Structure 1
Amino acid sequence: MDTPYGNVPLPVWERPEPQPRAAPVPLSRSKIAATAIAVADEHGLDGLSVRKIAKELGVGPMRLYDYVTNRSELLDLMVDVIYARIAEAVPQADWRTTLFAVVRRTREVALDHEWFADLLGARPHLGPHALAVGEATAAALSQAPGITSLDDLQRASGALSAFLAGALRREITERRTARSTGTDVAAWQAGHGPYLRRMLDTGRYPTIARLVVDGAHLDPEETFDHNLTTVLDGLTGSRLEP
């Protein structure tokens, strides 16, 4: 196919929907994406397949290939649906409240759709809603004090993305581990308590001992917000509360 990119196929967002067919079950990319999201919410990305989605829709698997050519395009559509929810958080009054709104909403949707965190931190997401979120984020960062050049903006964007991907993956991995083992953090700590106490009593790990013995059980959301504040303060040189 000749396209603006030579003979490279058009991205899924730029290809028109297939013409409606005289079939018992009408399809669209949005319907396929919504069904795929529901499947991934229940079974994770490893349990996501064209065959399973087709079964949920009540159609043959080959019909889906009229709308998406491969699994990557399917994931692209799913991800952009999630970004549509994140995009609802903007615009805000100023750069800092915009960044807090976008990052907090990203955490919210990632906790609702845990598979989304598995797709963060790789290649950029380029769907229209993902681009809208990226534009809002970059524009807000570009207005922050301390961001005076394009190099500053690139580095700040990368650092913020790294914080977000790392924080979400850690939180979601803990949730998954608790579900798969039937053991939450408190139970795991209790099980390993005697061994850890023996090791701490050697005196070789005084700082870890302080963290374990005197450290509080921090609320995940409060910790996330505190760490986000710290990251933004460091990136921009500002010291304002959100």
Structure 2
Amino acid sequence: MLVWERPEPPDRPVPAPLSRERIVRAAIRLADADGLTAVSLRKVAAVLEVGPMRLYGYIATKEELLELMVDAVYAEIRPTGDGWRAALRSLAEATRRAAHRHEWFADLIGGRPQLGPNTLATGNAVVAAMDGVGVDTIVPATAAVNAYVVGAVRREIAERRAERATGTDKEQWQAALGPYLERTFATGRLPALESVVRDGPHPTPDETFDSGLALLLDGIATRIEK
């Protein structure tokens, strides 16, 4: 039986009350502080001041725990606004904000579909907002937005982690690589790329995300209008 449907053990107030919700919240605190490598049933049990074996009555494996953690974050993600475009945009923006609050979340999305109750509720809200749009468009449109968001937030989180690991921010990294690019462009072999680097826009991460999402939504709009 899946963890979503498996009943919890009877409440035992001694030595400490326990529930799946308490276990998941403790695991999320660990992951927020030190990443997924800090999450194990043993470490979660230590935070909750209970023996590790008590957790197995609620969660059978670490994989189940990770699924529950992802679904808990999806409770923070709800599309808002009227119409399909507002719903898809708000879904993308809310998912990005959640990934920035919980960096580990970016590592766990994008694979097999998550089927927890909060995740399904988010999906239902999106589909409901796309009322009137054919299912042949709803499925690829939502898949495209989800794929864009996963790729974008993973790149942003990877850059954050690189900055922490190296102690250099984006501007310092660009300054260090600048002389190399100047020498490379001086060869004349990359004129198209040189023109983009020299004359193109240099948007902030927010602007990059917004403009890419707008291009995607414009394409979806063209499909719907047909």
TM-score normalised per structure 1 = 0.86
For the residue of structure 1 that corresponds to 2:91, the secondary structure is helix
Q: Given the alignment of the two structures, is residue 25 of structure 1 paired with residue 10 of structure 2, yes or no?
A: no
Partner of 2:116 in structure 1?
Answer: 127
- How far residue 27 of structure 1 moved from its aligned partner, in angstroms, is 0.8
The code of the aligned residue for 1:102 comes to L
Structure 1: how far apart are the matches of 2:118 and 2:50? 28
The code of the aligned residue for 1:173 comes to A
Q: Given the alignment of the two structures, is residue 108 of structure 1 paired with residue 71 of structure 2, yes or no?
A: no
Structure 1: how far apart are the matches of 2:13 and 2:20? 17
For the residue of structure 2 that corresponds to 1:169, the secondary structure is helix
User: Structure 1 residue aligned with 2:39, among 30, 48, 67?
Assistant: 48
User: Structure 2 residue aligned with 1:181, among 141, 144, 166?
Assistant: 166
Partner of 2:85 in structure 1?
Answer: 96
Partner of 1:68 in structure 2?
Answer: 59
User: Structure 1 residue aligned with 2:128, among 131, 139, 153?
Assistant: 139
Partner of 2:204 in structure 1?
Answer: 219
The code of the aligned residue for 1:207 comes to A
**Maintained 8 Å contact 1:12/1:68:** yes
The code of the aligned residue for 2:191 comes to P
**Maintained 8 Å contact 2:16/2:49:** yes
TM-score normalised per structure 2 = 0.92
Q: Percent identity?
A: 50
**Maintained 8 Å contact 2:20/2:58:** yes
Structure 1: how far apart are the matches of 2:33 and 2:132? 40
The code of the aligned residue for 1:232 comes to L
Q: Given the alignment of the two structures, is residue 157 of structure 1 paired with residue 148 of structure 2, yes or no?
A: no
The code of the aligned residue for 1:129 comes to N
The code of the aligned residue for 1:20 comes to D
Per-residue Cα deviation, 1:21-53 (whole angstroms, up to 9, x for no partner): 242211111111011001111121122111111
For the residue of structure 2 that corresponds to 1:17, the secondary structure is coil
